[in-house]
Structure 1
Amino acid sequence: MKKFSFLAAPLLLISSLAGAQEGVPSPAPTPAPASQKEEAQTQLVVLETAMGNITLALETERAPVTAANFLRYADEDRFDGTVFYRAMSVDWGEQPNGLLQGGTQNDPKRILDPIAHEPTSETGLSHTKGAISMARMEPGTATGDFSIMLGDQTGLDANPDGETEDVRAGYAVFGHVVDGMDVVRAIFASPTDPYKGEGWMKGQMLADPVEIIDVRRIDSPEGDEAEPAPKETNSAEAP
């Protein structure tokens, strides 16, 4: 399972099973060019969970590789039956603050090949409240785990002046919540188990993970379903 680690407020880094990575706080993100401030093409997706629905707008134009990856997982039902399993809290900023993590947890029957990294310095996106971002190890290792920001976490954005490759690359934002932040907050507020998790993750795992029942494309936030894209064949069959 991919991991996120707060190392030094306000810095939030995403890592994987190997554990936390070190870094330094990054400056505020550079404003996006005027062309990127114009409305870009997005695809709406609904995450139907056991606690309610969360609607996302995926940045298919600004972050095409990462958005297409998430849509493939959705179209092939690879997210269906997975869970939100981790709620990481921080005590700074407007509360509640932290991130909610879910996805495939490296299940070999669900995950696809890793995708190329799309840094925020190229996409013009940022880890603001409600942003959805890919969990990963090194840049270019993201598969099927993701997190939703409860508050602004711009320290996750690419920082070209960072001291390490990881900080320079940042993490790949590919969409944002357009409806259902109340559901995100409710799942985030679910009890955690003080004994679950390893190392610095101990105490961050939900005592009762919340099921992601279905993930599908829609035409509007009201829930009209869109026609699914053709499924691609892959040796790893979705459950």
Structure 2
Amino acid sequence: MRKYSFQFFFNLLLLLWIVSTIAACKSPEKNGLPHIIIETGYGDIEIELYTDKAPLTANAFLRYIDSGYYDQSNFYRVLNMYNQPSNAPKAFLIQGGIWKSNNELAQSLPGIPHESTKQTGILHKEGTISMARNEPGSAGPEFFIMVEEETGFDFGGENMGDGLGFAAFGSVVRGMPIVRKIHNLKEANQYLQPPVYIHTIRRK
């Protein structure tokens, strides 16, 4: 019977540890959920998309990404303490998409069926990403990221007249300082001056 030395077993364990470490580094989506990267001139923002809880919204966003719609797009709008009516419910967010960079495409895309926070359980907390909309089911490629918790954006909240709230579908896992930096940039009547360039949005 062949005998193995202590050094052999030590090397084997070391090899297994290295392999498992490399695998973990290559797989940031430990829970199986997709991650995407928003590449801006101020740095990258990494977001986890909840395709399990909000499949219609999250997968529509992934289709926009895979189609290259967000290449050379921008963050163009911010809501802060000073640029909203004093008698209106307040919100703190940055909004981006292709409304300014490719408005014709933005208007041509079909709306995404509305997935409310009552359905998904994804609340509008700090770092939550959600879809902008007018009527329920009208959301397209325009999205926003919460800078603070906003219960008024959830189902039954006061920030949307119909009480159905907005469709949240993911959360920032890295890059909130970038989000806050963009939120604090110069704006006029809620619109960034100039807009913040998004080189691309891609899957991680």
TM category, shorter:
0.7 to 0.9
Partner of residue 94, structure 2: 100
1:112 CA displacement = 2.2
Larger Rg: 2
CA-CA distance at 1:41 after TM superposition: 4.8
Report deviation, 1:90: 2.5
From the superposition, tell whether residues 165 and 109 of structure 1 become closer, same or farther in structure 2 (CA, over 3 Å). Answer: closer
| 1:57 aligned counterpart, secondary structure | strand
Q: Which letter maps to 1:144?
A: P
* Superposed CA offset, 1:212-231 (max 9, x none): 1011111xxxxxxxxxxxxx
User: Post-superposition shift, 1:42?
Assistant: 2.1
More helix, by proportion = 2
Question: Relative to structure 1, is the Cα distance of residues 159 and 147 closer, same or farther in structure 2, using a 3 angstrom cutoff?
Answer: same
Runs of 4+ displaced beyond 3 Å: none
Equivalent residues in 2 for 1:85-164, closer than 5 Å: 85-90=76-81, 98-105=92-99, 107-110=103-106, 112-159=109-156
Q: Which segments of 5 or more consecutive residues in structure 1 lack a partner in the other structure?
A: 1-38, 92-96, 194-202, 219-239
Matched, 1:215 2:201: yes
**Aligned twin of 2:176:** 181
1:41/1:60 contact within 8 Å kept = no
Matched pairs, number: 163
Give how far 1:49 is off. Answer: 0.7
Counterpart residue number, 2:39: 48
Identity %: 41
Q: After TM superposition, list the pairs within 5 Å mapping 1:48-67 onto structure 2.
A: 48-67=39-58
Give the TM-score normalised by the residue count of structure 1.
0.64
Q: Distance in 1 between matches of 2:44 and 2:113?
A: 29
**Distance verdict in 2 for CA 1:206–1:83, change over 3 Å:** same
Would you say 1:170 and 2:165 are equivalent positions? yes
- Aligned-residue CA RMSD in angstroms? 2.1
